[in-house]
């Protein structure tokens, strides 16, 4: 069964609703579905997705934004319990910090003529608010959706505040893996490479080496997203070998956010490096680890 194991909705920074995402998945001929929104999952989100999916299998998912060695890291969590207390506590923590920084950024851009506030950046689906909503609105209102000018202004504002993009999510990888396990899920390192991706380098994403992967494995990492649009052929081969060496699940995902005037068109459907049996492999991994019966220490501040 074919599954795109990495995609977003407007519950975080995607451009389409939960139901539109499931409809897209179905329309492209996939056999199963998941949603991996940034730092967000809820019982309502999962219920709406399952209702839209009908008899199509749906995997509850999340993508956690973290920091390691001062760099940005994304960890995907699959089969997590959306009502888990630690997960929901963490989502609140992320929202509070992100909105605090967004409020500060709004004041920096206000002299340039913006008239909107934090309340205007709330996502329509489940009322979340992230800094990327600000970037998209700034791009539309001030920079005619010009990507380079928008990002340049954003990074200049961060410099004025003396913060880095990684400061928006200073949560350790170790704690996040434990939190995912505690919520009954398993953890997958998202897009560990992307050396040639300019945006990832500017945002400060960690370019993972074997030593990083080995450390994460010691902390309980279950898989690596080997196949993704930002990986070169060489990176795909490199991370595939590391996954085999450390007996990790290999996943594939488009990281689709939906068509967007700032970040471009959807990649779901155009990204083709997705194994036909990915759903079966992920389901087997879930049954093998069965973290929902192996409670581990909850996420700590």
Give the list of residues 6+ apart from residue 256 with CB closer than 8 angstroms, or none.
4, 6, 7, 8, 14, 266, 267, 268, 271
In angstroms, rounded to a whole number, what is the distance separating the alpha carbons of residues 60 and 78? Answer: 6
Give the DSSP H/E element, type plus range, for residue 226. Answer: strand 223-227
What is the mean predicted confidence (pLDDT) over 225-238? 98
Residue 18, phi-psi category: left (phi > 0), alpha (psi -120 to 50), beta (remainder) = alpha
Q: Above 60 in pLDDT, residue 298?
A: no
Q: In the Cβ-directed half-sphere of 62, how many Cα atoms lie within 13 Å?
A: 31
- Give Cα separations from 30 to 15, 38, 182 (angstroms): 20, 22, 29
Question: Which pTM value belongs to this model?
Answer: 0.94
Give the DSSP H/E element, type plus range, for residue 153. Answer: helix 147-161
Of the pLDDT bands very low, low, confident and very high (cuts 50, 70, 90), residue 291 is low
Fold (CATH) for 18-293: TIM Barrel (3.20.20)
pLDDT of 30: 97
Asked if residues 76 and 83 have their Cβ atoms less than 8 Å apart, the reply is no
Q: Which two tokens stand for residue 45?
A: 């989100």
19-47: pLDDT as tens digits: 999 999 999 999 999 999 999 999 999 99
What is the mean predicted confidence (pLDDT) over 134-157? 93
Coil vs helix vs strand at 51: helix
Q: Above 80 in pLDDT, residue 300?
A: no
Q: Specify burial of residue 264 (Cβ count, 10 A radius: 0-12, 13-18, 19+).
A: exposed
Of the pLDDT bands very low, low, confident and very high (cuts 50, 70, 90), residue 161 is very high
């Amino acid at each position: 069964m074919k599954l795109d194991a990495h995609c977003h909705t407007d519950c975080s920074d995607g451009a389409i609703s939960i139901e539109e995402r499931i409809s897209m998945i179905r329309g492209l001929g996939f056999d199963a579905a998941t949603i991996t929104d940034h730092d967000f999952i809820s019982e309502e989100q999962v219920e709406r997705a399952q209702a839209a999916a009908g008899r199509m299998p749906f995997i509850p998912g999340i993508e956690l934004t973290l920091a390691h060695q001062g760099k940005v890291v994304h960890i995907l969590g699959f089969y997590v319990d959306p009502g888990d207390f630690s997960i929901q506590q963490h989502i609140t923590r992320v929202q509070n910090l992100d909105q605090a920084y967004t409020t500060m950024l709004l004041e920096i851009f206000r002299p340039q003529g913006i008239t909107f506030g934090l309340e205007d950046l709330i996502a329509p689906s489940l009322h979340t608010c992230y800094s990327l909503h600000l970037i998209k609105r700034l791009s539309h209102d001030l920079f005619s959706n010009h990507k380079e000018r928008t990002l340049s202004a954003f990074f200049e504002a961060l410099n004025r505040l003396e913060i880095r993009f990684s400061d928006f999510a200073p949560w350790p990888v170790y704690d996040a893996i434990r939190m995912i396990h505690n919520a009954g899920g398993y953890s997958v390192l998202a897009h560990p490479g992307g050396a040639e991706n300019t945006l990832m380098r500017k945002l400060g994403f960690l370019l993972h080496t074997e030593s990083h992967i080995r450390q994460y494995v010691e902390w309980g990492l279950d898989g690596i997203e080997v196949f993704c649009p930002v990986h070169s052929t060489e990176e795909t081969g490199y991370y595939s070998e590391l996954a085999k060496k450390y007996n990790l699940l290999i996943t594939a995902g488009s990281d689709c956010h939906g068509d967007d005037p700032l970040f471009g068109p959807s990649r779901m459907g155009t990204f083709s490096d997705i194994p036909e049996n990915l759903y079966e492999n992920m389901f087997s991994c879930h049954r093998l680890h069965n973290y929902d019966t192996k409670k581990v220490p909850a996420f700590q501040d």
